[in-house]
Amino acid sequence: MPRLVMKFGGTSVANLDRIRRAAKRVGVEVAKGYEVIVIVSAMSGKTNELVGWVNETSPMYDAREYDAIVSSGENVTAGLMALTLQEMDVPARSWQGWQVPLKTTDAHGSARIEEIPTENLDAKFKEGMKVAVVAGFQGISPEGRITTLGRGGSDTTAVAFAAAFEAERCDIYTDVDGVYTTDPRVSDKARKLDRIAFEEMLELASLGAKVLQTRSVELAMRYRVKLRVLSSFEEMDDNAGTLVCAEEDIVESNVVSGVAFVRDEAKMTLISVADRPGIAAAIFGPLSEAGVNVDMIIQNISEEGRTDMTFSCPVNEVARAEKAMADAKASGSINYHDLVADTDVAKVSVVGIGMRSHAGVAAKMFHALQAEGVNIKVITTSEIKISVLIDRKYMELAVQALHDAFELEKA
């Protein structure tokens, strides 16, 4: 029988009524002849509550116990979903990560999936089970301890199951009805996309779009798992939502597919660094060890053997970056005159696979920003993306201007 993976996020299973609504959607797919693997998140707000309890009990907590506690939210949802389906006369059974088993690394709190053996679920499907309700976000380490996959891990769980069980498709049910050309809360002209390529979705996810977790898109792209993003709160429709698929499955696409933004960025500049071989490694090695997520990097022209090095990172990592650089300077591995942090910037990006074959995208982007009086501080590009750092107060204006310039409201 064909298989389908359906993932329901926290808002989709926030209470018993919403669990019943989700179960009805599962029942419809079972009636079509699918064997269904349902991946569930914890009820909305439950994971935050559990994390709060852990921090209140033990600020310097044991990560193994953290995972044991925080993963329990998904267990509750899985059991309730299975019971609801059984009440609908749909043969269903709940599964915790260790029962599947979903095998992971031992990096508690941020484990990575290593293997999902299919034998246990396959055997139950052969015995007549129609729905396996699996607790998302969790697995089991080589030592036999419960692990969690990090925030958004249920999306990753769903894609991994779709790949392992060769599902026809992986449907991600959430509180939005698809992927938009930009955030509808910023531009009322934002348009829902019918299809988007894996590469575009990956860029948008990494650049601030909150619809899908980056790791889940990476996994889907690697194993060519078709993803469909759709709302739990709208009527069922075979053409609903946005399909994330391979580029060859998209007949014709716009040059630019979307405008993404990250509000809380910081621009940091090391002034007067020695311009010598190995200086970049001496700077970014300590930043990496400190857990600073560096994005854009710009090195100025060298003058008298000295140069300035600029990079961007999230605002909440500025203090960590400053300490890492101060420690590196104190140890003598680098020498710089000053470290200047601008914590009032935002990153705005345009993304589209059409950039590979169309010239002039950068020029159009820069002209649109110039027309609105928006000054660009840093620019970086890739094959299908152009990102700029600008003053945060101009972020929404820039997003709207770029959305208009590339006529993204048009299909």
Known binding-site positions: 7-10, 47, 74, 174-175, 180, 185, 210-211
Phi, psi of 347 (to 5 degrees): -110, 130
Can you read off the two tokens belonging to residue 408? 């993204």
Largest separation between any pair of C-alpha atoms in the chain:
78
Helix (H) or strand (E) holding 341: strand 338-351
The Cα–Cα gap between 409 and 405 comes to 10
Does residue 77 contact residue 43 with C-beta atoms inside 8 Å? yes
Contact 54, 61 (CB under 8 A): yes
Q: Which two tokens stand for residue 240?
A: 């609903």
Half-sphere exposure of 108 (CA within 13 A, CB side): 15
- β-pairing verdict for 376-382 and 385-391: antiparallel
Tell me the torsion sign for CA atoms 194, 200, 202, 208: negative
Tokens coding 90: 């749909």
C-alpha pair distances (Å), 308 with each of 14, 254, 275, 322, 326: 50, 38, 9, 16, 16
Binding residues for ATP: 7-10, 174-175, 180, 185, 210-211
Query: Binding site for substrate: which residues?
Result: 47, 74
Residue 307 contacts by C-beta under 8 Å, 6 or more apart in sequence?
272, 273, 275, 299, 300, 301
Given a contact cutoff of 8 angstroms between Cβ atoms, the answer to whether 223 and 216 are in contact is no
299, 309 contact by CB (below 8 A): yes
The three-point CA angle 277-282-286 to 5° equals 165
